[in-house]
Amino acid sequence: MKFRNLGRSGLKVSEIAYGNWLTHGSQVEEDAARASVHAALDEGITTFDTADAYAGTRAEDVLGRALEGQRREGLEIFTKVYWPTGPGPNDSGLSRKHIMESLHGSLRRLRTDYVDLYQAHRFDHETPLEETMRAFDDLVRQGKVLYVGVSEWRAEEIERALKIADEMGFDRIVSNQPQYSMLWRVIEAEVVPLCEREGIGQIVWSPIAQGVLTGKYLPGRPLPEGSRATDDKGGADMIKRYLDDDLLARVQELKPVAADLGLTMAQLAVAWVLQNPNVSSAIVGASRPEQVRDNVKAAGVKLDADVLKRIDEILADFVVRDPDKTRSPRTRP
């Protein structure tokens, strides 16, 4: 495994992070989840990402049990706050009340005294940003959170948070967690330039585009049994935008590119996001240990300019670049 600094901070994270969205507590049984976590540890992954809302808080519970007994100082445990964790009007968003209550719930479920990174899962238009930033800073000063980050924030929202932190003497945001892949590049125009300038690293999710970039979805063919596209617990909804026969045909053209490099399609996709110097870590999920073992081989892989150009030529018509695709709900869910 290779390691990178999280933005300009001193925190080192594994180039490949293990994430448990859509798997732990919902898509796979706990034994399979534990086996995947242990495979990640065996392969040198030290960075684990989750969120309080995943599987209705069950994902944090599963990850906490799977990591029990590990040396805490050797791990970087990340979680998030924003999406609903209960039925009440204050069970979502980034109010001081919800941030404090959610963090304490996450610590209980994760079986730890602190998290290495606490992330605002979306921007909250209903809460003053000063209130949110002060609550995060208080948790840092209490030692319950070591670093603060955001997820799926627009460049202007990140910039506002940085200005408030500087004016009020709060800890600055060190990371952003956006969707990013060969097919989804909406952060490149505005978010990445700002983050490079301000020392914020990207922890990217869905580097294999919900599994489409593995090449297992074939144009004009039935969906593979047991794949994310057949998952009725959330996976199918996320992947459906990619299930276009013309796009799937283009993805098949990446197979010889990967083969020439001695990589699987998934390894090529993960390696591609890691070529961006602003990316600190790529999150991979898994329902089976062998998926983890395959993905980690992307760590340290260098793709030359000709390979990157060839990928761009193959996927050109299907790449989404519009920064306006990054949006948070106008009202709390």
Query: How many other C-beta atoms are found inside a 10 Å radius of the C-beta of residue 83?
Result: 18
Q: Indicate if 54 belongs to the active site.
A: yes
Over residues 87-107, mean pLDDT = 98
Q: What's the mean pLDDT in 253-266?
A: 97
Domains, the chain, with CATH or none? 3-325 (3.20.20.100)
Would you say residue 17 has pLDDT above 60? yes
What average pLDDT does the segment 104-124 reach? 98
**Under a CB-based contact definition with an 8 Å cutoff, are residues 157 and 123 in contact?**
yes
Pick the catalytic residue from 18, 54, 82, 242: 54
Q: Are 124 and 157 in contact (CB under 8 A)?
A: no
Q: Which residue has the higher pLDDT, 211 or 93?
A: 93
Q: Indicate the angle between helix axes 245-252 and 305-315, nearest 10 degrees.
A: 160
Residue 286, pLDDT > 60, answer yes
> How does DSSP assign 189-208, residue by residue?
TTHHHHHHHHT-EEEEB-TT
Q: At what angle do helices 155-168 and 129-141 cross, to 10 degrees?
A: 60
> How far lies 195's CA from each of 3, 142, 189, in Å?
19, 27, 11
- CA nearest to 176, candidates 4, 5, 6: 6
- Residue 318: pLDDT over 70: yes
- Residue where the block lists tokens 């706990």: 30
Mean pLDDT confidence for 308-330 = 96
